[in-house]
Structure 1
């Protein structure tokens, strides 16, 4: 996994979401998902061992990855582009979820039975986002405000207003740019 920042990982159930989006380091132009086999390996490492993908599936997952990155950037106050919302709507329509009730009245959301490949991955991500939403942690998964970075991090700041993957990297660069612009 590519790890440019010094932040701690997101809590469960957001680890898969964060790890998927961070399979590419935009600044260093390194992508861990360039072949379908790499995507299968990634999924197996995240508890989805039976998924196999072809080149078209990989393209769909890369679309998913960037659309989720846009949503994470929205958590920091940037609107999600319409094309990202449309892509997510399309992918989610093919990845049904089921609601499960427990004896104590609790509710969990799971991927529907029988899903394979891209729909199985999308449904797992959707179920994880639903669980994180229920826990109140989803809005804290953010994309760095630096256009050259956009690394997804979990905002653990008390007020939840962090904008940078790390202050020591992107935050400092932004402060230096602002300082130089004033000089």
Structure 2
């Protein structure tokens, strides 16, 4: 049914890609695009794009009811709410009530229902599998994060110009970067260059 790992490959419109693990599927979903200046990162252009994202691991929610334009609109509303609330928690600010209401509304719908295989060795989602159920599952995960043991582990990437947000589930709670492959290595390179310049 689902892999235990989270994370997706993000693509920069200027070129290049890297794997980013936000620590939760709902936070991975929050990074599929956005509004305003983040619109250039949009990956959910059509209902089919949404269905493809939901069907990929670790959620693996293969829809049995086709996604609609209304579903896509609801998905983008939830995505924005998760993004805004995650950043507010990472910044230690009060959560915007209007965005909390969007998350609660999505969570109030019936979620995806797991179904055990006849031999008891695997599982998938019981039909019907709809966008509304998938969004409810994502919203409920966000509620659990905000109220559970990782509630104080929301972080924004330590890079000055990277807005990616994640929940730090590492044991020491010392994660600073969206990805060592990207911002972590860039920071190391800048530090190294600064030291060389200082030595010179």
Q: Which has the larger radius of gyration?
A: 2
- Say if 2:50 is the partner of 1:39: yes
Q: Quick one: distance in 2 between partners of 1:64 and 1:124?
A: 11
Match runs of 1:28-107 below 5 Å: 29-45=40-56, 46-50=59-63, 52-76=66-90, 77-93=92-108, 95-96=109-110
Distance 1:124 1:9 in 2: 18
Confirm or deny: 8 A CA contact 1:69 1:150 kept in the other structure. Answer: no
Greater RCO (CA < 8 Å, at least 6 residues apart): 1
Unmatched tracts of structure 2, length 5 or more: 1-8, 113-124, 188-200
Pair 1:24-2:38 in alignment: no
TM-score normalised over the length of structure 1: 0.61
Report the TM-score, using the length of structure 2 for normalisation. Answer: 0.57
Per-residue displacement from partner, 1:17-55 (whole Å, max 9, x unpaired)?
122111127558221111110000001103100253111
Tell whether the 8 Å contact from 1:70 to 1:143 is kept in structure 2 after alignment: no
Shift of 1:143: 4.4
CA-CA distance at 1:117 after TM superposition: 2.6
Structure 2 counterpart SS, 1:2: strand
Q: RMSD value over aligned CA atoms?
A: 4.2
User: 1:159 Cα shift?
Assistant: 5.2
